[in-house]
Structure 1
């Protein structure tokens, strides 16, 4: 099998007559979601469970087996067996890469250098750390069953000799405005996956680029539109549509799939954000009454930012004096808002959980 040669961008072979019925609903659903997002005073704090969820689901597509609550429990100091810790660390790195890239985009557009920085963070001290983190590949790679030869591969990415040329063309495409922003996002994501510039981590970097690119193009007020829930649920179709590009140049089929994913996910995200906002308003009233303190909103924001935590970390992150913060936590436990996952023992602090936030963010009973 010969290395894949990427299409020249912008594409000239998209069937817009076929896509038009998908483009309108996808853009409308995303706009409704963004409108809701822009009404959130501090989305990075209030909606942090959605970021955690994206990190878990995008990593799950690549085979990790850890849940949102396990990641938060690990960060709160609970212990897990070594294989689980490896999965959790990959998820933590994904979240760090997203945060770093979001900050980068406050001042500059997406660049190849940013991709390398994200990749270095993603593979830091985890499986794949021997796959040249932060560097584009210099060797020919291929995709297929474990142990297969290049002749048996299902896909052979572009030759490393032309890799930088393809990446530069891709970077230039991000800087222009194509016919439609969501169509351009679909093309940019797929082209990145087909170029496959890294030895490992291409799928996760490619999915991270979706909200980042929409944010760069101002289709989103903040980079918090996460598509991995849909892509993980339709994993076979996701990979099948990408493969149909390399085998049959079916870009229109891929873009239609992507637009359907955006429409479905935007609606699901909107419902989830509304549920979280409703909980915030409920808790604001309840915690204000329970604490009768000027610190009530600080307490609430700290819980939303990290719904599983050590009591000592709560004191540090909230900035509320210890002699005031710890009684607050006892009050919230007595009211059934917080639940203990580990009781205090000697110098070891208690680990507490804000269950209802996790349950609403996940749309199911988690804890």
Structure 2
């Protein structure tokens, strides 16, 4: 199989008449979600479960097996076998890259150098760290079953000598004004995946670009819109619609799939955000009543930001004394806000869990 020669951007064969309904529905759904986001006082804290879910699911598409709960447990001091630890580190790297990228875009725009920085963070101390983190590939890669040869590949990205010009064209397209920003985001993501410019981590970087580019195009007021839940559930359709571009030069099936994904995920995010916001207000009120503490709001924010933790986390986050932190945890346990998932013994401290938030984060409220 020979390396693919990518089409020039912008694509010339998009049939807007075939996707006009998808365009309208996706824009309307995303606007409703963004309107809700703008009413969230501190989305970085309140919606951190959704950020963690995105990191877990985007990494799961690439083969990791860790859950949201295991990531938080690990951060609270729980240990796992080496394979699980590596999975968790990949997820934490993705979350770190997403957080830093969001901060970066408040003052600048997406460029190739920025993409390389994200990749370096993503591949730090995990599988693939030997595959030139932060550097675009200079050798041929291909996509197919693990261990397959290039002749057996399902897709062979552009040859290394063609990659530099294709990436420059892709970067220039970021500043182009397509007829619709959501359609343009679909093209940006797909072309990045087709170019497959890194030796590893292309899928995760490509999915991370979706909320970042929507934010850059002002389709979102904050880059907190994640598609990996939908893409993970519809993985075969995701890859098949992407492949239609390289196999037939037809962008329309992919763009239609992408727009439907935005519509579905925006509605799902609205439901989840409302549940989290409602739980936050209810929890804050209860904590004020049962603790009578001047730190009630900070305490509520802390357990929403990290719903599995040791008492030291509260001591550092709230700046309170050790006895005060233990007393707060005891009161929250007595009122069924917190549960103990590991009792303290010897040098091992207790690990507490805010299970109501975990249920929402893991989608159990939707079952």
TM-score by length of 2: 0.97
Q: Does 1:289 align with 2:289?
A: yes
Matched, 1:153 2:162: no
Work out whether residues 185 and 213 of structure 2, in 8 Å CA contact, stay in contact via their aligned partners in 1. yes
Per the alignment, do residues 344 and 147 of structure 1 end up closer, same or farther by CA in structure 2, a change over 3 Å counting?
A: closer
Q: Deviations over 1:43-71 (max 9, x none)?
A: 00011000000000001101111100011
Q: Distance in 1 between matches of 2:209 and 2:93?
A: 15
Shift of 1:144: 1.6
**Equivalent residue number for residue 221 of structure 2:** 221
Cross-structure match for 2:268: 268
Aligned to 2:122: 122
> CA-to-partner distance for each residue in 1:301-325, whole Å, 9 max, x for gaps?
0010000011111211222333322
* Superposed CA RMSD: 1.2
Which range is displaced more, 317-326 or 202-211? 317-326
Paired residue for 2:299? Answer: 299
Q: Is the 8 A contact 2:93 2:123 kept in 1?
A: yes
CA distance in 1, matches of 2:146, 2:351: 41
How far off its partner does 1:33 sit?
A: 0.3
Distance 1:322 1:195 in 2: 53
The 5-angstrom pairing of residues 170-181 of structure 1 reads 170-181=170-181
SS in 1 for 2:340: strand
Q: What residue ranges of structure 1 are gaps of 5+ in the alignment?
A: none
Residues matched between the structures, number = 366
Deviations 1:21-58 (A, max 9, x none): 10000000000000001100000001100000000000
1:339 paired with 2:360, answer no
Matches within 5 A, 1:1-367: 1-364=1-364
CA distance in 2, matches of 1:44, 1:11: 36
Aligned mates of 1:191, 1:286 — CA distance in 2: 49
Q: CA deviation at 1:365?
A: 6.8
Three-state SS of the structure 2 residue aligned to 1:262 is helix
- List gaps (5 residues or longer) in structure 2: none
Secondary structure of the corresponding residue to residue 341 of structure 1: strand
Displacement of 1:146: 2.6
